[in-house]
Chain A
Amino acid sequence: MKLKKIKIVNFGQFSNLTFDLPSSRLNVFFGANEAGKSTVVAFVKQIMFGFYLRSNSSPFFEDYRPLAHVSPMGGSLFFEDTTGSNYELERLWAKGDKTKLGILTVKKDGQTVPQNLFFDQIKNIDGAFYADSFIFNQEMLNQVNSLNQADLLERIYYLGASDSNRLLDVRDDFAKDAGRLFKKTGKKPELNQLLKELKDKRANLADVELQFKKYEEFSSDLQNKGAQLKQKHAELVKLQKKQNKLATLQQELQSYKQLEVLENKKKPINFDSKNYQQAQMLIGQIQNLQKNISSLEQKIKHFSEISVGDADAKRVVQKKSELLQWQSEYKACMQRAEQIEDEEKQLLAITPDLQKVINLNPTQINDLRAEYQNLPKETASSKKANNNNLGKILLLTGGLLSVLGLILLFSSGAQGLIALIVGIIIFCAGFYKQKAEQKQRELFTKQINSDKERLLNFKKKYGLDPDNLDLTNLLNQLNQYRSKETAKNSNDKQMKEINSNMLGLARVIENLLNKSINHNFTDLLNAINEIESELDEKRQRAEQRENLKSNLIETKQNLKELELKLNTLLAQANVKTMDEYNDSYQMYLNQAKLDTQIDALKSSLEDHLDELQDLSKNPTTVKDREKQLDEKISSVEETVDDLQKRVAEVQVQMNDLSDSTAMFEAKQDLANTETQFENVSKDYLADLFTSKWVGRALDLASNERFPKMLKSAKEYLQLLTSGRYTDIQIDKKITVTRFDGKERAVKYLSRGTAEQLYFALKLAFVGQVRKQINLPILIDDSFVNFDDKRVGLIDQLLKKISKYNQVLIFTAQSSLVDKLQVKPLTFTKGNQNV
């Protein structure tokens, strides 16, 4: 389509302005700024695609307000197609019109025809498409940064497959759907979330997979804890025992304190209780002895008044036996005298020889007897038979008694003494008796001997026949006779003597008794007996006293000994008196009692004594120990509690683990997420691939215009930049490659280069679609930044483009106009609205 004429009725600042375009290739509108160049560009676009009458401002060049007071607004465009047909597009908008786009009338060769007759020829593009593709102005140029493949493609594909605009939508929708499900660097899209979930759940599974390890750890932990617990329990029991012991100790401490008090009371005492007992006994004995002594002394006093005998009385008493002897002798003498006379008579009668010898003196007789005794004859020995042994018996008895007494004296004291004394007395009596008997015997013996001699003498001298003569007998007879004679004489003499003795004695007794006594034996005896009994009595008493005295002495001696012993004991006990000793004994008893108490306490405290001692010394340590124990116990209890808790926990955890479906759940959970991921991924990929698929199909259907366009664009850019930029990559963003191979994003390009890129791309596009859509290219003052060199390059390009597309250039640059060597159309003031 070539634009032949522009007819403005009312639009912007213009009214009734018409431009006839001289060239079907390159037309130049030249005018200063604000001359209305942009208005004409907007007019061309809006007549084709509708007015832009929104109250809000449009984004770019259409930003103007139609004059409200001018009606109708609009005008016409006149085109000629390749077949030579002419189309007039008239669009008018009057106040009150329902549509704000204005009312379009299309005439072909002067005939009004359906709009699509025209629009089908330009593939029914819309205004935006036209503006984006065919209009080059400063504002569009500025948008080169945001230019992307999608926009370009959209235009390209538009011209490919049927319904390509919808397919593009389909493609974009799928791409959008895909984008909603997944973004390369996003967090919100479902797949991105699922990706994170996958990671989390894998981590979770990895954790859960440690279950078995944990289980084993728990198991060994449980064992350890169990052992610890046991140990702690044992420790606790020990501590509690200690505590109990301490409590016991504390209770015992009272006892121990008592013990201490008792022990303090205790004194070291050296007390010999045996000694004390002995002393006690001694005291008793001493007292007894003292009693004895005083009783003895009393007795002795009693005896001391009595005179201890008189010698005369004793002599008299001693004469008693003599007297008795005298008495008997006297009696005997008397009897004898009678007897002798009888016997003399008898003798003389019996023996007549007797008369012969009677007168012989004794010497003669002795001679006779001696003579006769030379003869073996035994006659006188028979006289010896009458031996008296009393003396001997007495002597023996007394001796025995004395020995016995002596023995008894050593064994039984007093009795022995008595026996001894009696024995001695008897012995003495025996002794006297023996002597007296011996005298008598000697006397007899002499008599016998004289008789014999007489007989013998008689025989020899007296002639007497010895054979006839029983000399012995004769002599005996004679002797007898003579002895009778002698005996008669001695008897008489004796009797006289006795009488004189008696007389003497009587006188003594009379003296003694101080009274006269009949001088006969009986009275004398009585008197002597009287004296004797008196004397006996005296002697008895004396003896008694002596006994007492010796007794006393002995007792006193004993007493002294006892006292000595006692004193020794006292000295040993280190006391002076028995009282002191008693006191000391009392003390000893007290100590013994203390000892007993102490022993009792000690035995009850037994093993704890040492500790109690320590405790008692340091009373604070008890509390300290108590506190320490309490602390320890509570600490151990805490540990035990803690351990028990832990054990329980571990057990619970183990039970949990052994029942745990966590592994399955974690896996299931992961599997579920994986499934979700798989499903959503499928969805995402289906969307993505559909989008790609559609895109690729469009590519193919559009005969791969895009790649071709890209190729052209590269050429153009190379041309425009004199080879400084050699390549263009169009992805989401466009990058260019410099001659040295460096890639650059558009935003980093210089303004000039960016404009050249923009130019190249758009022109390439328009070139690509020219067979489908051939509309005029409107270039509105776009080269404001193009320097002369660039303007030259653009000139080349435009000439190249304008071979296929009509180009309308709106410029204020005279240099460009000069360069293009085209007669410009100008905006005359007269044509502007009045």
Chain B
Amino acid sequence: MKFIHFADAHLDSPFRGLSFLPSKTFKQIYQAADESLTKIIDLALDEQVDLVLIAGDTFDNNKPSPRSQLFFAREIKRLTDAKIQVVMIFGNHDHMNLDDLLVTPSPYFKLLGASEKVESASFETKNGFSYVVNGFSYLNNHIVDDKLTAFPAKGDSYTFGLMHAQEKTTQASQNVYAPFDVNEMKDLDYDYFALGHIHLRQSLSKDPWIVYPGNIQGRHINEMGPKGCYLGQIDEQTGQTAITFKETGPIVWQEISVELNSSVTKTDLQTKILGNLSDINQTTYFSVHLVGAQYLDGDERELVQDKDFWQSISANLNFNSQLVDVRFESNNRLELDPNDQTSFEKAKSEVFSQPNFMKISKDWLRKDPLAEKLVSDPRFQNEVKELAEVKLSSRLKGINDETEEN
């Protein structure tokens, strides 16, 4: 038996950090997820798989656009027409009513566990191999209960679990996506637990299989690397399962570090960056981390942050690839006199401490939920801190230079 497992198609979802791109590029971008999905369906048809598991968040929200709905319905119809069984669940993004789904009803299409109730469905392949899929769909955007307890025990047949969920964490506020414990999941001993929600492809366990296939198309710089689906092959005799990742996402996000050891000219800088971006074989969106950013002066910093500069670099890249992000990293300490150094270090740890971060940014923070979301993200805080360091370091370097000149 063959099956395909994918999740988090997030149709309609935007790409982040690309506001500067020309609008024609967005066409390619908005089609990227569709294209990836189509490739997955193509793969299913080519491989003549028996089953396609869709582990939630097919749509980016619970009110998907008619375009995406119709597109998805068309793609699913290709499978059901080919008598390929499709079992799908809704995730926290596309928590919606089955009635609102435009998929043409078919015995080969099964939406599992509507109303957030774990449902068990039994099927048989053309060759008469029986299998069971257990899972549930989201009806609301959060599920705080541990749903694993509701999953039935494994029977004689090959058993799939299908769930859109996140591992339990210590932070209660994050345990809102059907939090589960991996060990408990292992204890269920399903042959293959098809998960969705986490966009980073990973296997939480290999025996038994507990798999996040990742999303089918990276949408921002934090979703790097190849994206696609898993193709599973079950040995019907032994019940052993082998999975292969199949890349289908047409655009790949990649982070590249470019290190500066000394001041450079603008031309050198451009050459240096370009040199780091040339080794690609598909459409790639780059985020460049300039390490040693303190060697850049204000002008240069402004330059490398200029979107036109990015575009000029992108123009030299193959596959319509893009430089879409430049971040600065300072690789040395502030150049201050030793007395002040202490003050600055102390001040830094004070100012950037969690409570102070909130306090200092409170005027801004209260303006918008996005600000709240950002500020609660340690990564964002860190980025602010790094940028502040780069800024200050660069500024103080100027002062020191001036002082030295004097």
Contact = CB atoms under 8 A, between A and B. Distances in A.
A337 to B, nearest CB: 160
B12 A664 contact: yes
A682 B339 contact: no
B110 interface: no
A680 to B, nearest CB: 10
A199 B65 CA distance: 20
B19 A675 contact: yes
A373 interface: no
A661 interface: yes
- Chain B contact-residue range equals 35 or more
B340 A682 contact: no
A403 interface: no
B370 to A, nearest CB: 6
Contacts of B339: 161-162, 701
Contacts of B392: 170, 174, 690, 693-694
A693 B347 CA distance: 6
A236 B371 CA distance: 61
B66 A184 contact: no
Nearest to B219: A671
A182 B364 contact: yes
A701 B67 CA distance: 61
Nearest to B387: A686
B380 interface: yes
B360 A688 contact: yes
A695 to B, nearest CB: 8
A74 to B, nearest CB: 29
Q: Which of B342, B352, B374 has the most CB of A within 10 A?
A: B374
A681 B343 contact: no
B43 interface: no
B19 A672 contact: yes
B30 A661 contact: yes
A663 B339 CA distance: 56
Contact of A682 (B69, B337, B383, B399): B383
B344 A693 contact: yes
A210 interface: yes
B351 A693 contact: yes
Interface in A422-436: none
B364 A685 contact: yes
Contact of A664 (B14, B367, B374, B399): B14
B15 interface: yes
B69 A689 contact: no
Interface string A672-703: 11111110011111111110111111111100
B388 A690 contact: yes
B348 interface: yes
Q: Which of B391, B396, B402 has the most CB of A within 10 A?
A: B391
Interface in B384-406: 384-385, 387-388, 390-392, 395-396, 399, 402-403
B253 to A, nearest CB: 14
Contacts of B64: 212, 663
A689 B380 CA distance: 13
B12 A170 contact: no
Contacts of A673: 19
A686 B328 CA distance: 12
Contacts of B391: 174, 686-687, 690
Nearest to A218: B66
Contacts of B370: 198, 674, 677-678
B60 A667 contact: yes
A161 B374 contact: no
Contacts of A669: 14
Contact of B384 (A167, A660, A689, A695): A689
B343 A700 contact: yes
Given A678-B374, A689-B385, A697-B344, A163 B399 contact: yes
A657 B67 contact: yes
Q: Which of B15, B63, B343, B403 has the most CB of A within 10 A?
A: B343
A694 B356 CA distance: 14
A689 B351 contact: yes
B309 interface: no
Contacts, number: 178
Contacts of B18: 668, 671-672, 675
A681 B352 contact: no
A667 B63 CA distance: 12
Nearest to A166: B399
A198 B19 contact: no
B24 interface: no
Interface in A180-194: 182, 184, 191
Nearest to A162: B337
A208 interface: yes
Given A174-B391, A213-B63, A700-B347, A685 B361 contact: yes
A819 to B, nearest CB: 44
A209 B14 CA distance: 14
B352 A658 contact: no
A690 B30 CA distance: 38
Interface string B341-361: 011101110111000110011
A170 B344 contact: no
Contacts of A686: 384, 387-388, 390-391
Nearest to A177: B391
Given A663-B12, A675-B16, A686-B388, 12 more contacts: A161-B340, A174-B392, A191-B364, A654-B66, A657-B66, A661-B65, A663-B65, A667-B13, A671-B14, A675-B18, A677-B368, A700-B347
30 contacts: A163-B403, A174-B391, A174-B392, A184-B363, A191-B364, A199-B368, A211-B66, A657-B65, A658-B66, A660-B66, A661-B30, A661-B67, A663-B64, A667-B13, A668-B18, A668-B30, A670-B14, A671-B19, A674-B16, A675-B18, A682-B384, A686-B384, A686-B387, A689-B351, A689-B385, A692-B356, A693-B347, A696-B346, A697-B344, A701-B343
Interface of B: 12-19, 26, 29-30, 60-61, 63-70, 100, 337, 339-340, 342-344, 346-348, 350-352, 356-357, 360-361, 363-364, 367-368, 370-371, 374, 380, 383-385, 387-388, 390-392, 395-396, 399, 402-403
